[in-house]
Amino acid sequence: MTSQSEAQYKVFLITGGASGLGAEYAKIFLQLGAKNVAILDIAEAVGKTFVASLNEKYPGKAMFIKCDVSKEDEIKTAFQQVLDANKRIDVIINNAGVGNDSLHQWRTASEVNWQGVVSFTLKGMEHMRKDKGGTGGTIINISSISALCKYSAFPTYCGSKIAVLHFGQTLSVPPFFDSTGVRILTICFGPTVTPLVENVHERMLDRSFDETFKTEEDVRSCQRIDSAVTAFVKMFQEGEPGSIWLSINNQPGIDITSDINQAFDEFKMKWLA
Q: Which residues are annotated as catalytic?
A: 157
Instruction: Report how far apart, in Å, the C-alpha atoms of 40 and of each of 74, 95, 103, 241 are.
Output: 10, 10, 27, 25
Q: Which of 73, 20, 19 is nearest to 48 (CA)?
A: 19
Judge whether 218 and 193 are in contact, CB under 8 Å: no
CA quadruple 118, 13, 52, 72: dihedral, nearest 10: -30
Specify the 3-state DSSP secondary structure of 92. Answer: strand
Q: How far is Cα 76 from Cα 68, in angstroms, rounded to an integer?
A: 11
Q: 254 — phi, psi (to 5°)?
A: -120, 125
d(CA 54, CA 235): 24
User: What gap in Å lies between CA 105 and CA 116, rounded to an integer?
Assistant: 16
In DSSP notation, 114-137 reads IIHHHHHHHHHHHHH-GGGT---E
Q: Which residues contact 166 (CB under 8 A, 6 or more apart)?
A: none
Distance in angstroms (rounded) separating the CA atoms of residues 189 and 185: 13
What are the residues whose beta carbons fall under 8 Å from the beta carbon of 246, sequence distance 6 or more? 145, 187, 188, 190, 253, 254, 256
